[in-house]
Amino acid sequence: MGVEEHTQETTTAGETASADLTVETTASGTRYPIAPGYRVNVRTGPGTSYRIVRTLPYGQKIPIYCQKPGERVTGPYGTSNLWDNIANGQFVADAYVYTGRDGYIAPRCD
């Protein structure tokens, strides 16, 4: 994987902190939770060689506008080459996002 795609928070007992894994659907769209206890890097493209734009806080839920294949990354939800577009020019590795299933859940990005 090269560069670490996350930082992980642990409790004093050494267990990973828990978070709400519900997918939220509202009038403004669907939002998916980042894996509990992880702060995930947001990058300018679908791979760890792209510049980091920001890092999502613990417990963040994100929209997924489209998905694009890119660098293969291993995370708490398996190994995947899918990257989720969460804003204009901003991508996160799908292996760190709870979508409820493997594969595409949004259209492919152009």
Tens digit of each residue's pLDDT (9 = 90 or more) over 5-17: 655 544 334 444 4
Contact between 53 and 42 (Cβ < 8 Å): yes
Q: Cα–Cα distance between 60 and 48 in angstroms, integer?
A: 20
Other Cβ atoms closer than 10 A to 49: 12
pLDDT score at 7: 53
Checking if the pLDDT of 110 tops 70, the result is: yes
Checking if the pLDDT of 24 tops 80, the result is: no
Pairing of strands 66-75, 61-62: unpaired
Helices assigned H by DSSP within the chain: none
What global pTM score does this model have? Answer: 0.80
pLDDT score at 23: 77
More confident residue, 110 or 68: 68
Residue holding tokens 């980042």?
34
Tens digit of each residue's pLDDT (9 = 90 or more) over 48-106: 999 999 999 999 999 999 999 999 999 999 999 999 999 999 999 999 999 998 899 99
Query: How many CA atoms, within 13 angstroms, populate the side-chain half-sphere of residue 18?
Result: 3
